[in-house]
């Protein structure tokens, strides 16, 4: 590991939400690291803690425990003020291109807001900077003085990306950035994210429920289930050789996009259990066809070097 340039490292991240004297274990001991200039994809059914992981990393939520290292510096315990320089290194783009932009501000104001906060460029250069950002995301100078409602979903997502790029971040956390977009527009945004990554050396954490899209853009993939990462591996390897029964089920559920391929039978049955009532031992055991007695007693740890998996079948 030592020769790798790790820009983001998460160690034993925990985030619970209190509800009615109980707690939702939204993120429960999650660890991973992301190499500079690459993409880590997070997949899993809704409610598995993907967004909470991203939001805790960028400190929209205060983690209960665990370390978040940006370029080797732990930011998990920093105050708001101490965080400011790290906010510059890390930005987030959101799923809903409709609610994530302030309707009352012009595109130019939306993008320059963070320039002001971080005191990034001299006031006289600000306009040029905004225009160059707009050009980067495929919009033009003519768009600068318009309001969000004048744009389509795909264009709004571009504005969100331009806003994230404004502070020249190293890391962008992308939480379902394409889910609300039409198929033909999704590909536009994915290509743009790929181009920006190779041009600027950006590192992405990429969350989406379209598994084939996540695989397409990610070097590594983490599969989450009820607050845990249960498999973490190179994304091509995950597709060729998924180990965890949950990963197998998830991949099998993914449409083949070809009527000539008949799907295998590994249907994941039922729903994710309530996060208030997480099964003992392995959290997946209630839906697992391979569960053994040990699975309800001992929680399997995420083990392995290149191909990590948390399952008693492999320990």
Partner 1 sequence: MEDNILEIKNLSTSFFTHLGEVKAVRDVSFSVEKGKVLGIVGESGSGKSVTALSCMRILQEPGRIVGGEILFKGEDLGKKSNKEMRAIRGNDISMIFQNPMSSMNAVLRVGDQLTEPLMEHTSISKKDAMKRAAELLSLVQIPDAEKRLRAYPHEFSGGMRQRAMIAMALACDPELLIADEPTTALDVTTQSQIIKLLSDIREKLGMSIILITHDLGVVAEICDSVVVMYGSMIMEEAPVDDIFHNACHPYTLGLLNSIPVVTGDSKNTRLEPIPGTPPNLLQPPPGCPFAPRCAYAMKVCTEKAPQNTQISDNHRSMCWLLHEDAPDNFLKRGNPIVR
Ligand X SMILES: Nc1ncnc2c1ncn2[C@@H]1O[C@H](COP(=O)(O)OP(=O)(O)O)[C@@H](O)[C@H]1O
Which residues here bind partner 1, judged by CB under 8 A?
A: 45-46, 152, 154-155, 182-188, 190-191, 194, 209, 211-213, 215-216, 235-236, 249-250, 252-261, 263, 267-269, 271
Q: Which does residue 186 touch among Mg ion, ligand X, partner 1, none (CB within 5 to 8 A, set by kind)?
A: partner 1
In whole angstroms, what separates CA 227 from the centre of its chain?
A: 14
For residues 289 and 143, give the distance between their C-alpha atoms in angstroms, rounded to a whole number.
Answer: 54
DSSP state of 108: H
C-beta closer to Mg ion: residue 170 or 176: 176
275 binds ligand X (CB under 6 A): yes
The radius of gyration of the chain from alpha carbons, rounded to an integer in Å, stands at 20
C-beta closer to ligand X: residue 273 or 304: 273
Could you say which residues in the range 216-255 bind ligand X, by CB under 6 A? none
Altogether, the residues listed in the chain come to a count of 315
Could you say which residues in the range 288-307 bind Mg ion, by CB under 5 A? none
Q: What are phi and psi of 105, to 5 degrees?
A: -105, 150
Residue 133 Cβ, how far from ligand X at the closest point, in Å? Answer: 28
Q: Which stretch binds ligand X (CB under 6 A): 2-10, 48-56, 71-79, 230-238?
A: 48-56
Residue 132: both structure tokens together: 């160059």
On whether the CB atoms of residues 102 and 113 are closer than 8 A, the answer is no
Locate the DSSP E strands across the chain.
Answer: 6-19, 22-35, 39-43, 65-70, 73-74, 90-93, 171-175, 203-207, 220-225, 228-234, 308-309
- Binder among 13, 16, 51, 164 for Mg ion (CB under 5 A): 51
For residues 78 and 82, give the distance between their C-alpha atoms in angstroms, rounded to a whole number.
Answer: 6
Q: Which does residue 187 touch among Mg ion, partner 1, ligand X, none (CB within 5 to 8 A, set by kind)?
A: partner 1
C-beta closer to partner 1: residue 11 or 209: 209
**Cβ-based neighbour number of residue 315 at 10 Å:** 12
C-beta closer to partner 1: residue 168 or 274: 274
Q: Which stretch binds Mg ion (CB under 5 A): 43-51, 159-167, 209-217, 253-261?
A: 43-51
Q: Which residues contribute to the site for ligand X (CB under 6 A)?
A: 17, 24, 26, 44, 46-52, 275
């Amino acid at each position: 590991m030592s020769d790798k340039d790790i820009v983001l490292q998460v160690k034993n991240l925990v985030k619970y939400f209190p509800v009615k004297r109980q707690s939702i274990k939204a993120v429960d001991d999650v660890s991973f690291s992301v190499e500079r200039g690459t993409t880590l994809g997070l997949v899993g059914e809704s409610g598995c803690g993907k967004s909470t992981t991203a939001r805790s990393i960028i400190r929209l939520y205060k983690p209960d425990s665990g370390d978040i290292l940006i370029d080797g510096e732990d930011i998990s315990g920093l105050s708001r003020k101490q965080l400011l320089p790290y906010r510059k290194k890390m930005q987030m783009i959101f799923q809903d291109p409709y609610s994530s932009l302030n309707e009352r501000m012009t595109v130019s104001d939306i993008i320059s807001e963070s320039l002001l906060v971080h005191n990034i460029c001299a006031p006289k250069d600000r306009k040029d900077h905004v225009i160059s950002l707009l050009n980067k995301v495929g919009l033009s100078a003519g768009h600068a003085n318009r309001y969000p409602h004048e744009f389509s979903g795909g264009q709004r997502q571009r504005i969100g990306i331009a806003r994230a790029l404004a502070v020249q971040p190293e890391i962008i956390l992308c939480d379902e950035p394409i889910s609300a977009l039409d198929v033909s527009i999704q590909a536009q945004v994915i290509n743009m994210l790929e181009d920006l990554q190779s041009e600027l050396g950006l590192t992405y954490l990429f969350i989406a429920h379209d598994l084939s899209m996540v695989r397409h853009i990610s070097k590594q993939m983490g599969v989450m289930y009820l607050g845990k990462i249960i498999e973490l591996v190179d994304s091509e390897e995950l597709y060729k050789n998924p180990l965890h029964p949950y990963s197998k089920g998830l991949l099998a559920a993914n449409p083949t996009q070809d009527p000539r391929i008949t799907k295998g039978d590994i249907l994941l049955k039922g729903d994710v259990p309530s996060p208030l009532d997480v099964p003992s031992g392995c959290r997946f055991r209630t839906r697992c066809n391979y569960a053994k007695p040990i699975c309800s007693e001992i929680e399997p740890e995420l083990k392995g070097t290149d191909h990590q998996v948390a399952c008693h079948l492999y320990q």
